[in-house]
Amino acid sequence: MHRRDLLRLLGGLSALAGLSPDELLALGPATHARLRDETSPLGFFDNHQMRTVVAAAERIVPRTDTPGATEAGCARFIERIVADHYDAPRQKRFLAGLVDLDQRASARTQFLFVDALSVDQDAVLTDVESAAYAAKPDGADSFWRDLKYLTLYGYYTSEVGVTQELKTPRFPGRFDGAMPITGGR
Amino acid sequence: MPRATWDAIVVGSGIAGGWAAKELSEKGLRVLVLEAGRSIDPARDFLMNAPAYEFDYRYLGDQQHLRTRQPVQRKCYACDEGATQFFVDDVDNPYTTPDGRPFDWIRGRQVGGKSIMWGRQCYRMSDLDFEANAKDGHGADWPIRYRDIAPWYDYVEQYAGISGERLGLAHLPDGPFLPPMPYSASEQWFRDGLARAYGGARVLTIGRVAVLSQAHNRRAACHYCGDCHRGCSTASYFNSVQTTLADALATGRCQIRPFSVVHSLRWDDATGKVTGVNVVDGQTNAAIDFRAKIVFVCASALESTRILLNSRSRAHPEGLGGSSGVLGRYLMDHTMQHGASGDVAGFEGVRTYGARPNGIYLPRFRNVTDRHPDFLRGYGYQGGGSRRIEGWGRGTAERGFGAEFKHALRVPRYGTWRMSLGGFGECLPHPDNRVTLDPTVTDRWGIPVLHIDMQWRANETAMMQDAEVQAAEMLEAAGCTNVKTYNNQTPPGLTIHEMGTARMGKSRKDSVLNRWNQVWDAPNVFVTDGAAMASSGCQNPSVTYMALTARAADRAVRLLNRKEL
């Protein structure tokens, strides 16, 4: 971890100046948690790419009444699949897609994607999605579909996704071939 | 190197080897089980119901490993991230095939063998099968009939625990079944429709499966998690580790030696017998010689034949059991990947719950009483009916994201009910479907490997077509709509019902084994797995291997006691 990255994680020195001692203390653990989440164990994504993936995934599956993609650790799963399963052209397209998020965010707000407000991040992602669906039916074969698939797959197969969002029973205990459907959950 | 001597050596620890170990040790013999692969501890190695997040690739598998080390094994549906460790490394365990004639050979090398990730379907053969070769002249006549094996089916099924429904069909005999698993709504509907349309000439039943529908033989009932192939913590499906091998070990007379790759059987000219087994230690490559009065070869159909072929001596230049010229010949598998599926209307208010590790079975109806003009013998169907339920997965293809999107995905979307039928067809025994030793290629332990030359022939091809058409006809007759058929013409092997190559027979002139599974040329050697099959039937064969093995073990001990071996 370079000092520059650490400062970026902390939001810059200027932000620190206005904090109370208690708030400064609280920043410590939070920063460490973010460091852990945003540092790639595989080394395929650099820290900025990892942070971009974390931010985009959280907008796709945000925290609501249940945790979102960040708490589910989606970015690490995404990195593993991109690194190990994708061939070189698809990896290149994925990394180019992350650059595209920054370019679109900068053009719109003068901020990189990770530093943009949520509402602007959403606008960028909507643009990316629209471009994908304009290029091919169902947005097939695009950075957007890869990012979204991996985010959803990573989220719903995570511990958070399985136990808190889906609440999948591990041991059904019986088979019922005609169980009445009782609405949603 | 000290030479250990045993009453019996059992080569292999899967379905057949487990039964041999249990029967021989329970009857008082000191038994050594030689297993080529590692040991298995269910508490550590069985990953039933391990959630996706406990795996690096969340069930998507380590594709690079699969591509480089398991390019054949990965074709099996069960070779997923929770079970890939139960399938062999294709690089360490090569085999060859002729150009343009692939054969997918799926193998498991560990204590328990393929019984850990098998399909668990159990159907008896009948005299329709045992008389088939004699009647139409393909293959050599079986030396046994149903009455010879029926009590042994009873015996092994009683122990293993097979859930199913009694039908009273002569050509698919009933057994001492545990209560049948329930049908789904569309299965029950199709069953009724079939009965209306065919009036009993074609019937549907729930799969007969070695999964416990109630507690049985000190094992717990199934909890319907659906992950059998990863190994079951509650021992609710039959596998040799948690049943036969455990009981064999409990006698105190049985020992299992993992990492024991059997090269060949040792023939002794002086006594005119096999005196033991030549083993290569799987980890050190050291050569070891184990001795025993009798040997049960239960290494899986093709591995057993490979051992016989590698057991060449001056007395047996074509391999042990090779004097008839049929060793390695008459390889069979069942055809599959041909059938149809259709939509079932209604049942909007219900869905299935739980993962039933079983489907339906539609027993053979061709060439039972009538005579089909295009092909001999017949096929049955496996399949099932369920409702399409779209959960979060639909979100990957839909537009949108964010909080509202996430919450919308919480409500499942219920699609149509479907009913599907997939044929499993009998393969005629043909001399040119055969295995030989590859003259140049050896495996990681320096043992010559098999060259497998097999193809579907005219009878199988005609049968596949008929099974495709009949599946559609039955679905439509019952009232299905949107019926779609398929016939994928997959190469042999992938059904993993490979059989034959050391068949039983009435005469030493045209078979390798006698009616007790003894090698004609070496009567203290018994081969009781799929290699022994003289015809394939169309039924999933494992329960027949269980019965043949228990029967042969009983015979072996009688002969030993009479000092006739």
Is-contact B162 B173, C-beta < 8 A? no
The predicted pLDDT at position A183 comes to: 65
Quick: pLDDT tens for B296-331. 999 999 999 999 999 999 999 999 999 999 999 999
Quick: pLDDT tens for B112-136. 999 999 999 999 999 999 999 999 9
Q: With CB atoms and an 8 Å threshold, state whether B407 touches A64.
A: yes
Quick: pLDDT tens for B215-230. 999 999 999 999 999 9
Q: What DSSP line would sit under B296-331, residue for residue?
A: EE-S-HHHHHHHHHH---SS-TT-TT-TTS-TT---
CA atoms within 13 A on the CB side of B316: 27
**Integer-rounded Cα radius of gyration of chain B:** 24
Mutation site, A79, A157, A160, A175, interface B, largest B CB count within 10 A? A175
Indicate the pairing of strand B522-527 with strand B287-297: parallel
The predicted pLDDT at position A168 comes to: 87
**Lowest-confidence region among A24-33, B260-269, B274-283, B462-471:** A24-33
Helices A143-156, A47-60: crossing angle, 10 deg rounding: 70
Distances (CA, A) of B211 to B223, B266, B383: 10, 39, 17
In chain B, the largest separation of any two C-alpha atoms, in whole Å, equals 83
Q: Determine the distance in angstroms separating the CA of B390 from the nearest CA of chain A, rounded to an integer.
A: 13
B62 contacts on A by Cβ (under 8 Å)? 84
Question: Smallest Cα–Cα separation from B279: which of B294, B259, B254, B293?
Answer: B259
pTM: 0.93
- Report the alpha-carbon distance of residue B551 to residue B559 in Å, rounded: 13
The predicted pLDDT at position A31 comes to: 60
B185 contacts on A by Cβ (under 8 Å)? 177-178
B191 contacts on A by Cβ (under 8 Å)? none
Is-contact B294 B270, C-beta < 8 A? no
Q: With CB atoms and an 8 Å threshold, state whether B406 touches A61.
A: yes
> Which residues fall within 8 angstroms of residue B474, CB to CB, at 6 or more apart?
B194, B197, B198, B202, B362, B421
Q: Is the ipTM of this complex over 0.85?
A: yes
A162 contacts on B by Cβ (under 8 Å)? 51-53
Nearest Cβ partner for B406 among A62, A125, A145:
A62
Is-contact A48 A31, C-beta < 8 A? no
- Report the alpha-carbon distance of residue B49 to residue B97 in Å, rounded: 37
What is the pLDDT averaged over residues B372-396?
97
What is the pLDDT averaged over residues B498-507?
98
Beta bridge partners of B34: B11, B257
Q: With CB atoms and an 8 Å threshold, state whether B53 touches A162.
A: yes
Percent of chain B with pLDDT over 70: 99
The predicted pLDDT at position B254 comes to: 98
What is the pLDDT averaged over residues B137-163?
98
- Report the alpha-carbon distance of residue B503 to residue B305 in Å, rounded: 10
- Which residue shows structure tokens 């391999």? B319
- Report the alpha-carbon distance of residue B11 to residue B19 in Å, rounded: 12
Nearest Cβ partner for B223 among A59, A125, A172:
A172
The predicted pLDDT at position A99 comes to: 98
B410 contacts on A by Cβ (under 8 Å)? 165, 184-185
B225 contacts on A by Cβ (under 8 Å)? 170-172
B407 contacts on A by Cβ (under 8 Å)? 64
- Report the alpha-carbon distance of residue A152 to residue A169 in Å, rounded: 20
**Is pLDDT at B1 greater than 60 in this prediction?**
no
The predicted pLDDT at position A132 comes to: 98
The predicted pLDDT at position A6 comes to: 45
Is-contact B429 B325, C-beta < 8 A? no
Mutation site, B353, B398, B410, interface A, largest A CB count within 10 A? B353
Q: With CB atoms and an 8 Å threshold, state whether A149 touches B402.
A: no
- Report the alpha-carbon distance of residue B464 to residue B297 in Å, rounded: 33
- Report the alpha-carbon distance of residue B331 to residue B430 in Å, rounded: 7
Q: With CB atoms and an 8 Å threshold, state whether A176 touches B182.
A: yes
Tokens describing residue B40:
């298995």
Q: Determine the distance in angstroms separating the CA of A11 from the nearest CA of chain B, rounded to an integer.
A: 25
Map B213-268 to HEC letters.
Answer: CCCECCECCCCCCCCHHHCCCCCCECCCCCCHHHHHHHCCCEEEECCEEEEEEEEE
Q: With CB atoms and an 8 Å threshold, state whether B352 touches A165.
A: no
Mean pLDDT of chain B: 97
> Which residues fall within 8 angstroms of residue B488, CB to CB, at 6 or more apart?
B337, B338
The predicted pLDDT at position A185 comes to: 39
What is residue B113's three-state secondary structure?
helix
Low-confidence ranges of chain A (pLDDT < 70): 1-39, 183-185
Nearest Cβ partner for A177 among B49, B52, B184:
B184
b/e per residue, B270-295, with b = 16+ CB within 10 A?
eeebbbbbbbbebeeeeebebbbbbb
Mutation site, B48, B214, B392, interface A, largest A CB count within 10 A? B392
Nearest Cβ partner for B352 among A129, A162, A177:
A177
- Report the alpha-carbon distance of residue B319 to residue B312 in Å, rounded: 4
